[in-house]
């Protein structure tokens, strides 16, 4: 029993589960504090729903990782939760765009709402980065280093596109299943007429760049180049 709990604990550690839960609880606590202070449950209630959607790709990335560990010979089974992960992946960094709702409101200091939106946005980005890192490691294990980074580039580009479609065109992840032709037509119109859709290209490119930098910073910090004093002492 102890060994099983230890394995679960180590798996959660590898998925950055504990800090993500802590970040989510902090965001929800700040929201609850706002409700209690202002007496309004409606304002920024969408953040709670968006946080729930942001957890979906993270959960399915963990399912993919778990299948790969438990059934290494049937690693291809991780493809199915991986598809769901990709469909819902933009929902995690989408939380950053909720800053569009920031405006001074009566009954609550503006700085509190800034902190509220920042906590949800950071959690969404953290969920996106952690889930992408998990999926990249799975791709790297089976298809190599180069393909894994191509996978990252495609996923981040699609995420930037998906965030635009969700924020400005009001498409949802499940619309990929129910209205795929309409979504593709929506994208095609903008690709065919680039000069009439500068917001589409500008938003998608800049958001992709933003997420790419966030991801690269996370990856570089998870593999520090400077050894700690303890590591230096052990190598002597």
Q: For residue range 90-116, what is the model confidence (pLDDT) as tens digits?
A: 999 999 999 999 999 988 999 999 999
Confidence category of residue 228, pLDDT binned at 50, 70, 90? very low
pLDDT at 73: 81
Instruction: Round to whole Å and give the CA distance between 150 and 161.
Output: 17
Question: Once rounded to an integer, what is the mean pLDDT over residues 44-59?
Answer: 97
Q: What's the predicted TM-score (pTM) here?
A: 0.90
CA distances 146 to 143, 150, 234, Å, are 8, 6, 33
Tokens of 145: 């280093």
User: How confident is the model over 114-158, as pLDDT tens digits?
Assistant: 999 999 999 999 999 999 999 999 999 999 999 999 999 999 999
pLDDT at 224: 53
Neighbours of 210 (CB within 10 A): 15
The residue to which tokens 């981040």 are assigned: 156
Residues in the chain: 236
Instruction: Round to whole Å and give the CA distance between 99 and 80.
Output: 33
For residue 11, the surrounding DSSP H or E stretch is helix 2-14
- Of 57-71, 187-201, 220-234, the range with the lowest mean pLDDT is 220-234
Say what the alpha-carbon torsion angle 125, 76, 13, 128 is, to the nearest 10 degrees.
0
pLDDT at 223: 62
Q: Which residues contact 60 (CB under 8 A, 6 or more apart)?
A: 81, 82, 84, 85, 88, 131
Going by C-alpha positions, the residue among 223, 63, 218 that lies closest to residue 138 is 63
Alpha helices of 90-227 — where are they, by DSSP H? 110-143, 145-167, 175-178, 180-192, 198-222
For the chain, which residues make up each domain, given as ranges? 2-224
Mean pLDDT of the chain: 91
- pLDDT at residue 231 tops 80: no
Confidence category of residue 77, pLDDT binned at 50, 70, 90? confident
């Amino acid at each position: 029993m102890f060994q099983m709990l230890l394995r679960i604990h180590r798996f959660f550690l590898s998925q950055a589960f504990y800090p993500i839960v802590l970040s989510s609880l902090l965001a929800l606590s700040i929201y609850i504090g706002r409700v209690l202070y202002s007496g309004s449950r409606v304002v920024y209630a969408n953040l709670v729903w968006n946080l729930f959607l942001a957890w979906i790709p993270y959960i399915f990335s963990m399912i993919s990782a778990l299948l790969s560990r438990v059934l290494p010979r049937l690693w291809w089974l991780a493809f199915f939760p991986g598809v769901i992960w990709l469909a819902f992946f933009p929902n995690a960094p989408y939380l950053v765009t909720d800053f569009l709702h920031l405006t001074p409101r009566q009954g609550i200091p503006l700085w509190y709402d800034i902190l509220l939106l920042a906590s949800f946005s950071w959690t969404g980005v953290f969920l996106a980065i952690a889930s992408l890192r998990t999926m990249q490691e799975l791709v790297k294990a089976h298809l190599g280093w180069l393909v894994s980074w191509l996978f990252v580039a495609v996923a981040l580009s699609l995420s930037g596109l998906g965030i635009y479609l969700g924020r400005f065109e009001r498409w949802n992840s499940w619309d990929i299943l129910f209205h795929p032709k309409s979504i593709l037509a929506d994208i095609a119109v903008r690709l065919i007429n680039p000069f009439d859709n500068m917001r589409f290209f500008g938003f998608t490119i800049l958001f992709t760049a933003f997420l790419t930098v966030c991801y690269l910073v996370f990856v570089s910090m998870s593999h520090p180049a400077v050894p700690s004093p303890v590591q230096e002492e052990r190598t002597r």
